[in-house]
Structure 1
Amino acid sequence: MSRRTPLMLSIATGDARPINRQIVDGVRRLIATGELPVGAVLPSVRGLAQQLSINPNTVAKAYGELAAEGWVESRAGLGLFVLPPRQLLSDAERARRLDDAVGRFTADVIGLGYSGPEVLDRVAAELADCLPRQVA
C-alpha cells in the first residue's frame, strides 16, 4: 500500500476565499508544481481535517471538487490518488477562463500603484515558481 503524502497546506483565516477553496487551490498548486507527483496518496479526509483543525466536511467538499475536476481519483479502500494531468476543457473555455482570471487580477491590482513592468515581473516570478520542478 502506498504511503500517504503529507500536504503542506495552511489555512489563512483572513483570506476572502472559503476554507474549502483554499484547500482546492493549495492542492492544485502542489500538483501543478510537481510537489505532489502523479500517484501520490493524499491524506484521509479525517487526517487533513485534524492537521488543519477544521471540519472534516470541509475537506470532503474540497476533495470532491478536486475529483470532479480530474485532479485526483478516489479508489475504494485505498485513498485519494493524484492523477496524470489531462485537458478537460476546450480551447475556447480555457481562453474564456484565462480572460476572466486576468480581468479579476487586473481589477485587484490596478489601484495598488505599481507600474506595468513591476506587475509583470511579479507575475512572471510567481509563474516560474509554479512550473513543475525537474527531478534529477
Structure 2
Amino acid sequence: MATNFETSKPIYMQIVDTIFQRIVRGEIGPGEKLASVREMAIHSGVNPNTIQRSYAEMERMGVVETKRGQGTFVIEGEIIVERLRHTMQTEIISQFVKSMEELGISRQQMISRLESFLKEGEQNDDPLK
C-alpha cells in the first residue's frame, strides 16, 4: 500500500508531516511506539533508509526518542502535542496568507472572506451565482 507523495517536498519530510498529523489527531499518543522502520517502509512503499531519516529528523526535533532494542516512541507529555498543533496551525495559516497575498487579496478581504466561508459554507462560495 504505497503512499502518493508530492514532488515539491522531500519524501522523508512528508512522512514526518503525516506522523505529526496522526499525533495531533490523537491517533498516536504520547509514549506510544511507532511502527518499526521496516514496517513503516513496507506500508509507505519507500526505502527503509527514508523512514530512518524521518525518524532521525523527528528525534532531532524532540518529538520522538529511540530506545535501543525497543523501538521509537513519541515523547511523553501533552506539551509535545500542543507544540506540534501550534506549529502546524502556524504553517497552514502562513501558507494561506501568502497565497492570498499573491492573488492581491488584502488582509481585511481575507478575514471577511474566511468569515463568510465559515458561516455559509462552500455552497454559497460562488460570487457569480
Please report the TM-score for the alignment, with normalisation by the length of structure 1: 0.61
Residue pairs, 1:112-123, within 5 angstroms? 116=110, 117-119=112-114
CA pair 118-45 structure 1, distance change in 2 beyond 3 A:
farther
Structure with more relative contact order (C-alpha pairs < 8 Å, separation 6 or more):
1
Tell me the residue number matched to 1:69.
61
Residue pairs, 1:5-44, within 5 angstroms? 11-44=3-36
Between the two proteins, what is the percent identity of the paired residues?
Answer: 28
State how far apart, in whole Å, the 1-side matches of 2:104 and 2:45 are.
34
**Structure 1 residue 51 displacement after superposition:** 1.0
* Equivalent of 2:96 in 105, 111, 128: 105
**Structure 1 residue 119 displacement after superposition:** 3.9
State how far apart, in whole Å, the 2-side matches of 1:35 and 1:112 are.
38
Q: Find the residue that maps to 2:73 and give its secondary structure.
A: strand
Contact map agreement 1:71 1:85 (CA 8 A) in 2 = no
CA pair 14-101 structure 1, distance change in 2 beyond 3 A:
closer
Larger Rg computed on CA atoms: 2
Q: CA RMSD in A?
A: 3.2
Q: Deviations over 1:39-62 (max 9, x none)?
A: 211011111011111011111111
* Equivalent of 2:49 in 29, 53, 57: 57
Contact map agreement 2:41 2:51 (CA 8 A) in 1 = yes
Unaligned runs of 5+ in 1: 1-9, 88-93, 123-136
Contact map agreement 1:20 1:58 (CA 8 A) in 2 = yes
Contact map agreement 1:45 1:59 (CA 8 A) in 2 = yes
CA pair 112-35 structure 1, distance change in 2 beyond 3 A:
farther
Q: State how many pairs are aligned.
A: 104
**Structure 1 residue 36 displacement after superposition:** 0.5
* 4+ runs deviating over 6 angstroms: none
